[in-house]
Structures are given as C-alpha cells and as structure tokens.
Amino acid sequence: MSSQFESSVTDTTGGQSAESGGEPLLSAKGLKKHFPVEQSFLDRLFGDDEWVHAVDGVDLTLAERETLGVVGESGCGKSTLGRTLSRLYEPTAGTIHFDGEEISDAEGDRLKALRKDVQVIFQDPLSSLNPRKTVGEIVGKPLAVHDIATGEAKDERVAELFEEVGLSPDLRDRYPHEFSGGQRQRVGIARALAVEPKLIIADEPVSALDVSVQAQIINLMKRLQQEYGLSYVFIAHDLSVVRHVSDRIAVMYLGKIVEEGPTHDIFEAPAHPYTKSLLAAIPSITGEMGRRTVHLDGNPPSPIDPPSGCPFHTRCPEYIDEECEADEPALQPVEQSAESDPERHRSACHWNDRDEADRAAQSPYGNDVGG
C-alpha cells in the first residue's frame, strides 16, 4: 500500500491548485486510530484486549486550496479521521505532515500553533457553541487565545467576520439558542475563520440543516475558500453534497480508504464495488422515478473485529473468490476507464488485477455504472 503511495505522492497534489505543485499541504501515511473497548476486570487480567479499529491505515494527501471529500456510511471512521488529522485525537500509529512539518506528535506550544492553522467545523453547531457565551464572545475567543487581537481591534475583527459569513454584526450580543441552525453554522464558520487558518476540517457541516439553508452554507464555504485560499477536508455522508464541493473524493469503509480519485472519475467511473453501491443508493431528484435498486444488504461489520482480507468482502456484490477473504487488496491505480487519470484514481479491489469482461458479466451493476 505504502509503496504505491510513495510513487504517486507528488502526482496527487492536483486539484485546482496543480500550479502550486511541490509539497502537499497535508499528508498522512499509515494513519491509525484505535480506541480501547471498555473491558471487564477479567478481560484485562487475561490480556483480552479489544480495540475499535476506527481508522486503520489511511494514506492521503491534500493540496493547498483543494477540497478533499471523505464519504462513507456511519461508523466507517470518517469523523475519527477528521479529528485525528486535526490532532484533536492522538494517532495510534502513522504520521501526519502539515505544511512540511511532522505534526503527529506535536504537543504544547507546537500544538497550539497548529490550532491556528487547522480549524474544525462541527456537524451540530448548537452543541459546539458555548450556550452561556454570546456569539460575539465565541467568535472573539480564538483571537484572544492566539494573541491576534484584543480590545477594540478584536471587536472590529469580530464585526468583520460576522459580515464575512453573512450575519449582521448587530447580532453579536445574542446567545446561540436565539439563532436558527443555518445562522449557528455561520457562527461556527466565523469562529473557524477568525484565526485565518490554512486548513478547515468540516465534519458533516450541513447535514443537520434544511436543504434551502444547506445550499446557503455550501455556497458560503465555497466563496470563503476562494477568498481566503482555504483547503478543506469535507466529511459527509451525502454524496451529492460532497460531489458539489470536492475536487477529490476518498471513499472510506471500515477505517480504510477503498477508493480515491478526482470527483469526476469517482462519479463517472467508480472502480470499487462499494463506491458503485453507494452511488447506486443515492436518492435522485432527476433521472428515472421510482425505486432505487440497491445491491448492498445489511450493515458494515463491527470495526472491533474487522473481516480478514478485503474489509468489504462480506457485503460485496462483486465478490470474486477466496482471494477476497485472504488478501487485503492494496490501493492501486485504476486503469479501467480512459477518462480517468490512473495515477490519481486509485482503488483497493482485487478486480484491478482481473479481467474486466468477467467482472461486467458478474456485476449486478453491469458495465455501465455511475454518471
């Protein structure tokens, strides 16, 4: 897996910032985050360790001004990945480089400095905003913590930030509960923006919002990206939303990235059976009316005891043979489609080494998937 990665690391910095070239802003290698399962005294005595493999060996890169969408079903580890990348969690193994610096073991002042560059927007703006502080105080706090501005300068900056995210500065003395969901998310964005970060990790930023408001927030995030030159890691379960905001997409399953590539390739020529299944399951307001056909039954297996071999083999509609159960497929370039750039479009599936015609014959999705 990692050798594949090294060979393509410089090529994957693309996105809309291909001109910037060179080092990616953020890169992770072999990143793992395991959580201990609560255990009884006896288990501990006999050393029966159980771990939730939330993130289990993830390699990724993110260029400046690029948006990487991370998608997957609930429990696939996408939120944990976001929190580990932002160092809200300490990684169990692996390395994270940000802006040329190793940050996986950053502590103290270095970690505080990192917080200035990497900010997080959470899904539920109400539970991530202190209910006892006015929104003005909430947005102003990072400015004080990082010694950016105090006193009048701070007030001015807060007013600016409010304007920037489309809130009237007159609202600054109100409390979070007085706002609607969309306005709260604007406050969360203003707070993240306050320290002028380079990277924002957005964890399901619009999934709690109504569609009409969701569109406002997506447009706002895209505009801010252009204005401030931000990079985003955009974590969401809604593929249509991710498609709209992302330059590249990484599809996660049971703590691993099973497919990664430019947004267009992922949607037009998905290579991994899991990606195909997810795409087929998207409810659509265009195209044919009527039922969705989904060839994906059941639920993901427990991340405490992930399946051997390919993590997806237990549900795979394009299951091949014992190899799927024995060997874990590596993330490797996809060559099936002429449109896709094989260097940047990679998937982890044994079909990569097999005959496409056989696959089309067996697949419930046939030859023509995506789009």
Q: Is 159 in the site for other proteins (CB under 8 A)?
A: no
Contact 2, 332 (CB under 8 A): no
What does the DSSP 8-state code read for residue 77? S
Question: Minimum distance between the CB of residue 220 and other proteins, rounded to whole angstroms?
Answer: 6
Segment interacting with other proteins, rule: CB under 8 A, options 44-52, 123-131, 140-148, 164-172: 164-172
Q: Which of 240, 305, 339, 366 binds other proteins (CB under 8 A)?
A: 240
> Closer CB to other proteins, residue 315 or residue 345?
315
- Partner residues linked to 252 by β-bridges: 257
Q: Which residue has the tokens 């990497």?
A: 118
Tell me the two tokens of residue 311. 């993590």
Q: Which of 1, 126, 148, 218 binds other proteins (CB under 8 A)?
A: 218
> Closer CB to other proteins, residue 117 or residue 247?
247
Q: Which of 62, 194, 239, 324 binds other proteins (CB under 8 A)?
A: 239
Contact 323, 279 (CB under 8 A): no
> Closer CB to other proteins, residue 198 or residue 272?
272
Cα 51 to Cα 30, 38, 42, 307: the distances in Å are 17, 9, 16, 14
- 290 Cβ contact partners less than 8 Å away, ≥ 6 residues apart: none
Question: Minimum distance between the CB of residue 107 and other proteins, rounded to whole angstroms?
Answer: 37
Q: Mask: binding to other proteins, 277-316, rule CB under 8 A, as x and -?
A: xxx-xxxxxxx-xxxx-x-xx-x-----------------
Rounded Cα distance, 359 and 334, in Å: 14
> Closer CB to other proteins, residue 294 or residue 361?
294
Q: Which of 127, 130, 150, 180 binds other proteins (CB under 8 A)?
A: 180
Q: Which of 167, 187, 193, 194 binds other proteins (CB under 8 A)?
A: 167
What does the DSSP 8-state code read for residue 320? -
What does the DSSP 8-state code read for residue 352? G
Containing H/E element for 53?
strand 51-62
Question: Minimum distance between the CB of residue 10 and other proteins, rounded to whole angstroms?
Answer: 29
Cα 86 to Cα 92, 98, 287: the distances in Å are 14, 10, 39
Rounded Cα distance, 323 and 56, in Å: 20
Interface residue list for other proteins (CB under 8 A): 73-74, 162-163, 166-171, 180-183, 210-216, 218-220, 222, 237-241, 243-244, 267, 277-279, 281-287, 289-292, 294, 296-297, 299, 371
